[in-house]
Amino acid sequence: MKSLFHKWNQFSLVTRIVIGIIIGVILAVTVPEAGRWVTIFGSLFVGALKAVAPVLVLLLVIHAIAKHKSGQQTNMKSIIVLYGISTFLAGLVAVVASFIFPVTLTLTSGAEGFEPPSGLSEVLQTLLFNFVDNPINALINSNYIGILAWAILLGIALKNASDSTKNMLANFSDAISQIVKWVINLAPIGIMGLVFEAIATNGLSALLDYGKLLLVLLGCMFFIALVVNPIIVFINIRKNPYPLVFKVLKDSGITAFFTRSSAANIPVNMSLCEKLNLDKDTYSVSIPLGATINMAGAAVTISILTLAAVNTLGIQVDIGTALILSILSAISACGASGVAGGSLLLIPLACSLFGISNDVAMQVVAVGFIIGVLQDSCETALNSSSDVLYTATAEYAKMRKEGKEFSI
């Protein structure tokens, strides 16, 4: 048994995940009822990632800020700019795609019980109140904006602490990082359970009626991941961006696709940044921040579903209004993590730009929940993998400007 376990660990993590996916599909197709017990592995894996992520972020950021020396440069400004540009361009790509491939919907009910935000001010207000959340409450509810705020404040307050205190923080930080590695090693079994549950419970038949909508949605996300993001990376690092793009999609995107949670993928992204030898002081802040504000996939979802409602109702849209929608979807997407239901519940906010009633908008939200099996998975994969992509891009761009050699 020990020998078998050793041989299993000799395979790369991605290879083991692929094996887990294949086993999950086979079990879901052959024994969908008898194999229900497999789903517990998926739930435990996602639960473990979500449990360790808030503590990991808190300790890493406190330690990074506390030991940060005055005058020491970080790339946070560049990373935030990259997050903003990519999210806006995602909204713009979605708007252009909706003009080229217009989609209409068969509206139905089914979004009862969900309460969308009443306006952009409410989204931003929620985001601001998350900053001043009680630290214990922020940890319990995985409010990463609140966790980051407290971690930064505590880190600044501990800058003048004794070396022994800073060493203790470093030891705790390393211990949590080790736990993360143990949890990530369980990914093949966890993803096997998630794949089984997705296929056995939902199937794919419910998605066939929305084939064109899904093609436009997923087409935009793939275009952003494989064309827009590489162009942005190339402009910054002046090297072939695809090795880095494929690396983050493989090591971060696959896990995010199945967990469907940017928060749960934070430990995976932290581990990937470590493998890429990125600056820990930077990625310990940029990765959890990206999980809350780097939302290219959400901008795509908001724009396309909103314009699908517009097309269904026969509303004419001019270029100026479409540009405003791109900006609105980008800003709204950045606040999606502070709104219950994520990006889908921000669709009524975007629909209000065209005077579409809340009743109709909530029917569009219901359509979003139906296609969520694929839409939400691809959205999360794009969002989460981009966090690592732009963190690495900012660091490589800095090295290029300084004339230092770097390899991707």
pLDDT, tens digit, 9 for 90 and up, residues 300-347: 999 999 999 888 888 888 778 888 888 888 877 776 654 444 677 778
The percent of residues in the chain predicted with pLDDT above 70, rounded, is 88
The percent of residues in the chain predicted with pLDDT above 90, rounded, is 27
Task: Collect all residues with Cβ–Cβ distance below 8 Å to 39 and sequence separation of at least 6.
Answer: 193, 196, 197, 200
Task: Collect all residues with Cβ–Cβ distance below 8 Å to 405 and sequence separation of at least 6.
Answer: 399
Per-residue pLDDT, 114 = 46
Look up tokens 């940044």; give the residue.
Answer: 273
* Alpha carbon distances (Å) from 184 to 267, 270, 294: 8, 11, 23
Per-residue pLDDT, 250 = 92
Angle at 80 between CA 326 and CA 233, to 5 degrees: 80
389 has pLDDT over 80: yes
Give Cα 372 distance to the centre of its chain: 15
Assigned token pair, 373: 């099996």
Instruction: For residues 344-362, give the mean pLDDT.
Output: 80
The predicted model scores a pTM of 0.79
> Cβ–Cβ contacts within 10 Å for residue 342, how many?
22
Per-residue pLDDT, 253 = 93
Strands, DSSP E only, in 318-361? none
DSSP 202: I
DSSP 11: S
93 has pLDDT over 60: yes
CB 53, CB 270: distance < 8 Å:
no
Per-residue pLDDT, 61 = 82
13 has pLDDT over 80: no
Instruction: For residues 137-151, give the mean pLDDT.
Output: 84
> Going from the N-terminus, what domains does the chain have, and what CATH number goes with each?
2-401 (1.10.3860.10)
Instruction: For residues 58-84, give the mean pLDDT.
Output: 81
109 has pLDDT over 70: no
Q: Could you tell me the pLDDT band of residue 111, with boundaries at 50, 70 and 90?
A: very low
CB 388, CB 156: distance < 8 Å:
no
Look up tokens 């436009």; give the residue.
Answer: 216
Minimum mean pLDDT among 11-25, 67-81, 103-117, 137-151: which range? Answer: 103-117
* Alpha carbon distances (Å) from 45 to 129, 144, 184, 264: 30, 20, 9, 9
CB 348, CB 224: distance < 8 Å:
no
Look up tokens 């997923």; give the residue.
Answer: 218
110 has pLDDT over 50: no
> Cβ–Cβ contacts within 10 Å for residue 136, how many?
9
Assigned token pair, 147: 């966790």
* Average pLDDT in the chain: 83
H helices within 201-279, ranges in order? 211-223, 229-237, 242-248, 254-259, 266-275
pLDDT digits 0-9 by tens, 198-226 = 777 655 554 566 788 889 999 999 999 99
What distance in Å separates the CA atoms of residue 338 and residue 128, rounded to the nearest whole number? Answer: 9
CB 196, CB 37: distance < 8 Å:
no
What distance in Å separates the CA atoms of residue 142 and residue 163, rounded to the nearest whole number? Answer: 30
DSSP 294: -
Per-residue pLDDT, 245 = 96
138 has pLDDT over 90: no
